[in-house]
Amino acid sequence: MFSGSIPALVTPFRNGQVDEDAFRRLVDWQIREGSNALVPCGTTGESATLSFDEHYRVISLCLEVADGRVPVIAGCGSNDTATAVRHMAFAKSEGAAAALVVAPYYNRPNQEGMYAHFAHLAEKSDLPIILYNVPGRTITDILPETVARLAEIPSIIGIKDASGNLARVTSHRISCGTDFVQLSGNDDMALAFNAAGGVGCISVTANVAPRLCAEFQAACQAGDYGLARTLNDRLHPLHGALFSDVSPGPTKYALTKVLDNFPEDVRLPMTPASAGSRSIVDAGLEHAGLI
Residues that are catalytic:
132, 160
Helix (H, G, I), strand (E, B) or coil at 39: strand
Alpha-carbon distances of 207 from 226, 251, 258, rounded to whole Å: 24, 7, 10
SS (H, E, C) 236-256: HHHHHHCCCCCCCHHHHHHHH
- CB contact set of 132 (below 8 Å; sequence gap of 6+): 42, 77, 100, 101, 102, 103, 159, 160, 162, 185
**Terminal-residue alpha carbon distance, the chain:** 34
DSSP state, 104? P
How far is 64 from 60, CA to CA, in rounded Å? 6
Planar angle of CA 73, 278, 47, nearest 5 degrees: 25
Whole-number Å distance between alpha carbons of 291 and 284: 9
- In sequence order, the 6+-apart residues with CB closer than 8 A to the CB of 82 are none
Closest to 180 measured CA to CA, from 148, 202, 223, 133: 148
* Nearest Cα to Cα of residue 187 among 224, 168, 211, 161: 161
